[in-house]
Amino acid sequence: MEEETIEQLVEEAQSIYQIAFGYLSSPEVIFQLGIIAALVLPAWLLSRVVEKKLEGQVRRIQGMPGLLRVIVAFLRRLHWLFIAVFLGIAYWATRIAGWPESNNLIYGAMLLSAAWLIISAVSRIIRRKTFAKIFALAAWVYVAAVLLGITDDIRAILDGAIIPVVDISLWRVLTSLIAVGILLWLSLKLGTFLDTRIQSVDDLTPSLRVLLGKITRISLMVFAVLIGMQLLNLNLTALTVLSGAIGVGIGFGLQKVVSNFISGIIILLDESIKPGDTITLGDTFGWVRELRARFVSVITRDGREYLIPNEDFITTEVVNWSFSNKYVRLDVPFGVSYNSDPHQVIKLATAAAAAVDRVDSKYQQPVCWMTEFGDSSINFLLRFWIDDPQHGLTNIRGTVLLALWDTFKENGINIPFPHREVIMRTPVTVQQGKTDEAD
């Protein structure tokens, strides 16, 4: 049966080739192809002139980027419009000359040019260039087949080509892929729309909003794939061994991906990490910008964005500065000379810290404790609270230290530095040099 099918396809291809060769070698067709080729150059030159004059006017459109993109794409393909117009004039002239409509190649070229103009301009709505090109090419091929009246022949050829293992025709595979592609595109657009609406609900926690958005997107994509499999009507029993081997290979290959995906769901369910939290993971300190299916986006103080796998937040130690509340306590050690009054130092230090803008004195007042009598100073520890750790920790410590410096300088309190004695074990003779007196 397979050999007969292949022979039939070869015979049909040969017959199509003979018909096409006989058609294209006729004098009428050669003359029409010459007319079409002669009209391409003037149409292209005219489009270049018109495009330069219209593009400046079109660029003034504000507030409608989608419409502007389509219009600019239309201008970039303006030569196809002039080709279609010139071919229309040529077709009208051939009709007046008495050419039979059934043998008019110019008419078909005019329709194909106009179809390509519209399809290529509309495809600019698709932002991904690869998908846009595939859509434009597939749509134009379909329109060309309809105009040439060969859709039934193409379907018969594809329907007769059977894939042996799964017993599916190429026609069903092609239609199913197109359906799945459209369904996936619709599911992504609908998922993005629903995710935006979910994120705008203030009654839900940030983690719950992210979780519901991801579940919605994944559910829509799985639904689209299931519909595609239903359209294919796959005979899975014939693929049991093959699918099992492939499944094992994919399982080992996607082990980390699945682990990160499950870890992301766990993080969202237990709300250990939320968008906006300030965290420390290893040497990375920053705040969580976004939770993804595979990683967590963390932005540091220097503007770097780290994409940390979700698994790291489950298996390693994470410091979440804002897990239960947003308040963080910071310590600033300092020392003063022994000539200072410790009671006055404590009062001045707490007042200086409370005067700093980022120090939250309403939550808890700053406190200062004397910790020890040092070698050359009395040592203290100043403690205060802030509610915005995502704005940095080093900078607020530096600001408090400057406030202590200014306060101590105004009140005559010295910050000592260590003194060192150098003892020479070998006696050293110091001689004072004599200078010659001037005459």
Domain 274-320 has CATH 3.30.60.50: no
Residues 256-259: contacts with CB within 8 Å, 24+ apart? 256/309, 256/311, 257/294, 259/311
The answer, yes or no, to whether residue 167 has pLDDT greater than 70, is no
Residues 147-151: contacts with CB within 8 Å, 24+ apart? 147/108, 147/111, 147/112, 147/115, 148/108
For 285, left (φ over 0), alpha (ψ -120 to 50), or beta? Answer: beta
Q: What pLDDT was estimated at residue 347?
A: 93
Q: In degrees to the nearest 10, what's the CA dihedral of 80, 76, 45, 145?
A: -20
The answer, yes or no, to whether residue 242 has pLDDT greater than 70, is no
pLDDT in tens, 319-329: 887 777 778 88
Domain with CATH 3.30.70.100 in the chain: 328-410
Strand 168-169, strand 378-386: pairing: unpaired
- Give bridge partners of residue 163 from the DSSP assignment: 168
Cβ(321)–Cβ(392) under 8 Å?
no
Which position has the higher pLDDT, 270 or 336?
A: 336
pLDDT in tens, 112-125: 788 777 777 667 66
The answer, yes or no, to whether residue 24 has pLDDT greater than 70, is no
Q: What pLDDT was estimated at residue 1?
A: 44
- pLDDT band for position 435 (cuts 50, 70, 90): low
Q: Calculate ∠ Cα 353-357-362, nearest 5°.
A: 75
Cβ(158)–Cβ(170) under 8 Å?
yes
Which position has the higher pLDDT, 155 or 292?
A: 292
User: How much is the pTM?
Assistant: 0.45
- Give bridge partners of residue 291 from the DSSP assignment: 296
Which position has the higher pLDDT, 190 or 400?
A: 400
Domain with CATH 2.30.30.60 in the chain: 274-320
Cβ(95)–Cβ(134) under 8 Å?
no
- Give bridge partners of residue 336 from the DSSP assignment: 378
Cβ(355)–Cβ(416) under 8 Å?
no
The CATH architecture one would assign to domain 328-410 is 2-Layer Sandwich (3.30)
Cβ(160)–Cβ(209) under 8 Å?
no
CB-based contacts of 101: which residues, under 8 Å, 6+ apart?
A: 95, 107
Closest among 358, 204, 259 to 267, alpha carbons compared: 259
Closest among 306, 292, 302, 207 to 257, alpha carbons compared: 292
For the chain, report the end-to-end CA distance as a whole number of angstroms.
Answer: 131
pLDDT in tens, 189-230: 888 888 788 777 777 766 677 777 777 877 887 787 777 667
Cβ(71)–Cβ(62) under 8 Å?
no
Report, as an integer, the average pLDDT of 268-272.
75
Cβ(341)–Cβ(411) under 8 Å?
no
Which position has the higher pLDDT, 166 or 91?
A: 91
CA distance 145 to 315: 58
CB-based contacts of 158: which residues, under 8 Å, 6+ apart?
A: 169, 170, 171, 174
Residues 253-259: contacts with CB within 8 Å, 24+ apart? 256/309, 256/311, 257/294, 259/311
Cβ(69)–Cβ(120) under 8 Å?
no
Cβ(109)–Cβ(87) under 8 Å?
yes
As to burial, measured by CB atoms within 10 angstroms (0-12 exposed, 13-18 middle, 19+ buried), residue 422 is exposed
